[in-house]
Amino acid sequence: MTSDKGRTKRLRKPGGSQSRKPDFYTRALTAAEQEALGPARTVEGLDEEVAMLRVKLLTLLTEHPDNYSLIMRGVELMIKAVSACYRISGKSEDDLYQSVVGVLKGVGEALGVMEETRV
């Protein structure tokens, strides 16, 4: 991307160190939440979030069965979270690729096929 003066502007990558401002949201968190934030950043996947949403939805259904709009909002969040779980991430894609390559190499070695090209 270039500006009017012909200089190139750098675009920030989402999730990169430039785009994350650690103090931006932390001021809205309690001390306990701030402490939990570090370990939460290392969790991969959405399994825990989906499980938590299920528990909260069950609580909502038992404690507020007449609050239809809130129940529907919970269901929508569940659908979005579960849908996101089935999308493959770049890391998962690379892991899958490496696994398939490993299996193919193993089969090739078992069959006595020489590796002619590098995958």
Q: Cα(26)–Cα(36) distance, rounded to whole angstroms?
A: 11
- For the entire predicted model, the pTM comes to 0.49
Sign for the CA dihedral angle at 77, 80, 82, 88 comes to negative
In angstroms, the Cα distances linking 17 to 8, 21, 70 are 20, 8, 36
How far is 53 from 67, CA to CA, in rounded Å?
Answer: 17
Q: Summarize pLDDT for 12-35 with one digit per residue, the tens.
A: 444 444 455 567 888 888 999 888
What tokens were used for 8? 């190139």
**pLDDT tens digits, residue range 55-90?**
998 999 899 988 988 989 888 888 888 888 878 677
CA 10 to chain centre: 25
